[in-house]
Amino acid sequence: MSLQDRIDALDTDRDLSVDFDFDREKAVALAVFLIPGLTLFGIFSVGPIVYSAIGSFFAWDTFTMEHFVGLDNWIRSLTDPLIVHWSNMQEFRYPMGALTHNLLWVVVHVPASTFLGLGLALLFADLKGRRILRSMVFAGFTVPPIVIGLVLMFIYDPQAGVFNELLRVLGQDHLVRNWTQSPQVAIYALIAGGIWVHTGFSMLLYSSALSAIDPSLIESAKVDGAGPWRRFWDVIWPLVKPVTAVVVIMGIIWVMRMFDIVYAAGGAAGGPNHAYSVLGIEVYRAAFRPEIDYGMAMVVALIQLFIVAPLALYIARMR
Partner 1 sequence: MTEDDPLEPTGVDAGPDETTEADRYLQVEEVPETAPTDDRTWRTRLAESVPSSRRTLKYAVAITVAVLWIVPFIGLFMASFRPLSEIIGGWWHLEGMSITFENYYQAWNYSTAPLSRALLNTFIVTIPAVLVVMLLGVMAAYPFARFEFPLKTTLFFLILLVMAAPPELVAMGNYNSLQRIGLFDTYMGLILIHIGWGLGWVVLFLRNYLLGIPEELEEAARIDGASRYQIFRTIILPLSTPALVSVAVIQFTWVWNAFFFPLVFMRSPELYLAPQVLPLMRGRVQVEWGMIAAGSIMTMAVPVILFLLLERYYKRGMVAAVAD
d(CA 318, CA 2): 6
Q: Give least dist CB 45 to partner 1, A.
A: 5
Q: Give least dist CB 87 to partner 1, A.
A: 27
Q: Give least dist CB 63 to partner 1, A.
A: 6
Per-position DSSP letters for 237-297, written without gaps between them? HHHHHHHHHHHHHHHHHHHHT--HHHHHHHGGGTSGGGTT--HHHHHHHHHHSSSP-HHHH
With respect to partner 1, which residue has the nearer C-beta, 232 or 259? Answer: 259
Q: Which of residues 188-207 bind partner 1 (CB under 8 A)?
A: 196, 200-201, 204-205
Three-state DSSP state, 81: coil
Does 93 sit near partner 1 (CB under 8 A)?
no
Q: Which of residues 152-171 bind partner 1 (CB under 8 A)?
A: 152-155, 157, 159-160, 162, 165
Does 149 sit near partner 1 (CB under 8 A)?
yes
d(CA 81, CA 79): 6
Q: Which range in 17-25, 69-77, 181-189, 269-277 contacts partner 1 by CB under 8 A?
A: 17-25
Binding string, residues 239-278; x marks residues near partner 1 by CB under 8 A: ----x--x---x--x--xx-xx--xx--x-----------
Does 97 sit near partner 1 (CB under 8 A)?
no
| 99 closest CA partner among 84, 114, 78 | 84
